[in-house]
Structure 1
């Protein structure tokens, strides 16, 4: 019988933790060097779920954030 590592981030390269001011399992950004290009970026949430995307898709999100696309959404959160 093979026991799998329950940690979904095993083998991933940690890039950033979003929040990091608590111990509740904040969302984190990783790169999976072994994944295909279209699944290389991994974002985990504090519920144990993960999404995967390409670096190109992440670049679009970052560019949109820099251009203020998310500002209206986040105005009430601050």
Structure 2
């Protein structure tokens, strides 16, 4: 599991189990280009800027990510 000390939790994806679900955090102490943190259930993390995350959210809202996770 990734160390999440000092991170401000925003959202947990799944949350219906005790398996270390992916989570979204804000790291207030990180440089602006690495402030948004997404952890997975394997202990890995992706860090990005708020602008990059906002772009991802906009794409999701506009349907550009629909079907991405389909087999």
**TM-score scaled by structure 1?**
0.84
**CA RMSD, Structure 1 to Structure 2 (Å):** 1.6
Which 4+ stretches in 1 moved above 6 angstroms?
A: none
**TM-score scaled by structure 2?**
0.92
The CA deviation at 1:8 is 1.5
Query: Is 2:13 the counterpart of 1:24?
Result: no
User: Larger Rg: 1 or 2?
Assistant: 1
Q: Per residue, is there more helix in 1 or in 2?
A: 1
Instruction: Could you tell me which runs of 5 or more consecutive residues in structure 1 were left unpaired when the two chains were aligned.
Output: 1-5
The CA deviation at 1:7 is 5.5
Question: How many positions carry a matched residue from both structures?
Answer: 71
Instruction: Could you tell me which runs of 5 or more consecutive residues in structure 2 were left unpaired when the two chains were aligned.
Output: none
